[in-house]
Structure 1
Amino acid sequence: MSQTVSVRCKLIVPQELRQEIDRTLQGFANACNQILDTAKQKNCWNTAKLHHLVYRPVRAATGLKANHVCQALRRVISNAKAVKQVHKFRPTSLTLDARTFKYRESDQAVGVTLMSGRVWLKLKIGGYQIALLRGQKPTSATLSKTKQGDYYINIAVELDTPPTGKTPKVIGVDLGRRDIATASNGRSWSGEHIQAVRDRFSRVRAKVQSKRTRSSRRLLRRLSGRERRYQTWLNHNISKTLVRDAQAIGAALAFEDLTGIRDCLNQKSRSKAERRRTNNWAFYQLRMFVAYKAAIAGVPVVLVPPAYTSQTCHKCLHIHPERGKSYRNGKSFKCGHCGWEGDADHNAAQVISLLGATVNSPEIPKLSCPLGPLGIGIKPAPCA
């Protein structure tokens, strides 16, 4: 098995080539917009049919190479299938394939086909990127330009991954806003600091946007992306630690499947600040980071249903017998059946671990999940 990862490398671009790269980026964006307009007018989203409609007109209008036009077509079709669709493409990136891109390991350079032809650009990279690119023969990449005017290339490489076998050992991970992640092995990451950072950026944005001056717009441009980059950095660190811990003991990782939780929470009567905090909750990004890191490390990742995980006692597997009531009270959990008392998130992580072990190794029955007449959510499986 293999896992595709993107290696982000900074490009050393001579001054005389910057204008040509910008011209190619602009042409690619124009091609995407022209293809998108045609697709909307003709209501045609089939790749082959749309190719026959737009290929020659787009090449004539933009002067792009043939493969650039084909990649622009693929980007438009992919955008139409995306959840968040782009309605107007900007000249910020260029998709490259095997015919328009080549990596040369001997001198750490890449060949990129522009509108004027093939150019070779040096990579400004460190040991991490060099290790990932060693021995690789990548066939696809994306050239991009940042707001600061720097050029980067994201090179897609295939990494061999070890097989992920079944294991009875499972580390459960409870995700939340108060604590970003709580693992059943005792690790926990508080969300207090990231929440304070988000609230501070929200206040600053609201204050600056109300000014409506040139200097305020410049400040907003400088602030843009800082909150997102910090959240990404934090999720990378958490995911790296979780995968390393699981790999060290040969365990799998279990997460709750929180698909649709934002819609569910936003249906309730909540303040504007609470809705913003819920919508900024980056649990899916963390799960995706764990997924690809775990695949490279050979660590299985399983998803379990989130129902009753925070209400069930991991010791006796009981929940409160009265509907609408719970043994959980904020951050604390005290079971009224067996008397166990402790951190509520740690208890939920333990329950997720038990469910994950059942999902990962179904041939070893441990739990069943019927809803009993007294509201008991999880019971021990009957002995054979």
Structure 2
Amino acid sequence: MKIVAQVKLLPASAHDADTLAATLRACNRAANWVSEVAHAQDLKRRNELQKAVYYDTKDTFDLAAQPAVRVIKKVVDAYATRQANLKAGNYGREDSKRRARVESRPVRFREDAAQPYDDRILTWNLNARTVSIWTVAGRLKGIPFVCSEQAGELLTARRGESDLVMRDGMFFLIATVEVPEPQAYEPAGWLGVDLGIVNIATTSDGRTMSGRRVNRYRKRQRDLRQKLQAKRTKSAKRALKRIRRRESRYTTQRNHIIAKKLVTTAERTSRGIGLEDLSGIRQRVTAKKDQRSALHSWAFAQLGAFVEYKARRVGVPVVRVDPRNTSRQCSECWHTHRTNRVSQARFACRSCGIVLHADHNGSRNIAHRADAAWQRGVVNRPRTSTR
């Protein structure tokens, strides 16, 4: 399977940093021009587009041969991604104004958008922890980088492209790493996971990962942003710029921790993991005005992605199930009614009388549905029957 490892570049001088920034600007300006040609002439295949724009891209934007090829490939990939989103309905129905607006315009790239590099224009020296990278001013050699111990180990299995990224004046390389993926084992049972806002994750074992801490942190950050925005001073704007990604980093860290706990529990007990398929929930659910911020800042997709990739690395099977009525169905007698959900935290079945925490009841339903889907064979099964 493919994952990514991130390293931080440490340019030796302001000149080197300015050169890297100028390289990103040149590549993205070239990408915007190539995108306009691709849109105007309907050239979405790589060979056709490269034949039409390759020499002009090199000459006009002063790019070397391989960077020009990477720029064209980036544009082709962007149009492929947009087409996949259109097909999936992520930009609305075929007759919607939003979809028509997206289709009528060429794909645009920010001046500091990431630029892909391959081994011809980027060389790694893992022992010295340095890289040699192509820029518009020539090769910059011996640029040091720093990374975590885990990322350093992953880089030994690096394959394919690496992306040069600039964030808040700092430069990073995000490398694609190929790691072995063990065969998923036959689960002895299922660990159902109910995702939510009040409780980020609740398992069918009754374990709850509360979202109280994350929600308090988000409220503090929201209040701080409102105060700084009201001041409208230069120092307030600098502070806003400094803290703008803080909440995202915090949420990502919490999701990594929760995902690791879930996968470790499932692996230790030889079970699989059942998750809700919450794709499109923001379009399906209508939230009250005071709840919209919590709903739209809910990083359930990220948590689900973290669980899936961590599970794949250790061979734990993961099944996505339909979340419909998981909060209204009794996990004991299967009676389903909206009045079973007494409150946000309390579930009381009107048929059998069982009383449970609502999220615990939902996670048990998810575990049952994951087992049923596995037994029906609607998901990929491992070749071996035992772990």
**TM-score normalised by length of structure 1:** 0.85
Deviations 1:20-48 (A, max 9, x none): 32232221122112222323333433333
1:203-242 mapped onto 2 (5 Å cutoff):
203-242=223-262
Contact 1:310–1:328 under 8 Å retained in 2: no
Deviations 1:191-237 (A, max 9, x none): 12222222332233233333433233222211211111111111111
Find the aligned partners of 1:363 and 1:28 in 2 and give their Cα distance.
47
1:256-335 mapped onto 2 (5 Å cutoff):
256-266=276-286, 270-271=288-289, 273-320=290-337, 324-335=338-349
Secondary structure of the corresponding residue to residue 95 of structure 1: strand
Find the aligned partners of 1:75 and 1:210 in 2 and give their Cα distance.
40
Unaligned runs of 5+ in 1: 365-384
Find the aligned partners of 1:308 and 1:331 in 2 and give their Cα distance.
15
- Kindly tell me the number of residue pairs found equivalent between the two proteins: 354
Compute the displacement of 1:92 (Å): 4.8
Instruction: Look up the match of 1:11.
Output: 9
- The structure with the largest helix share of the pair is 2
Find the aligned partners of 1:110 and 1:138 in 2 and give their Cα distance.
15
1:158 matched to 2:158? The reply is no
Compute the displacement of 1:262 (Å): 0.6
Change (3 A) 1:66 1:328: farther
Identity of aligned residues (%): 28
1:349 matched to 2:363? The reply is yes
Find the aligned partners of 1:71 and 1:63 in 2 and give their Cα distance.
14
Deviations 1:233-287 (A, max 9, x none): 1111111111111111111111111111111113x6x21x312221111100100
Find the aligned partners of 2:311 and 2:368 in 1 and give their Cα distance.
19
Secondary structure of the corresponding residue to residue 243 of structure 1: helix
1:196 matched to 2:222? The reply is no
Compute the displacement of 1:344 (Å): 0.7
1:57 matched to 2:56? The reply is yes
Q: Counterpart amino acid of 2:9? A: L
- More deviation, 137-146/178-187: 137-146
1:127 matched to 2:149? The reply is yes
- More deviation, 164-173/200-209: 200-209
Find the aligned partners of 2:310 and 2:265 in 1 and give their Cα distance.
12
Find the aligned partners of 2:17 and 2:247 in 1 and give their Cα distance.
29
**TM-score normalised by length of structure 2:** 0.85
- More deviation, 79-88/205-214: 79-88
Q: Counterpart amino acid of 2:145? A: L
Compute the displacement of 1:141 (Å): 0.7
Deviations 1:68-108 (A, max 9, x none): 12222222233332459863422353211132223333333
Secondary structure of the corresponding residue to residue 160 of structure 1: coil
Contact 1:32–1:89 under 8 Å retained in 2: no
Find the aligned partners of 2:29 and 2:377 in 1 and give their Cα distance.
56
Secondary structure of the corresponding residue to residue 138 of structure 1: strand
Instruction: Look up the match of 1:367.
Output: none
Find the aligned partners of 1:130 and 1:146 in 2 and give their Cα distance.
21
1:114 matched to 2:114? The reply is no
Instruction: Look up the match of 2:385.
Output: none
Instruction: Look up the match of 1:377.
Output: none
Question: Could you say what the CA RMSD is over the residues aligned between the two structures, in angstroms?
Answer: 2.3
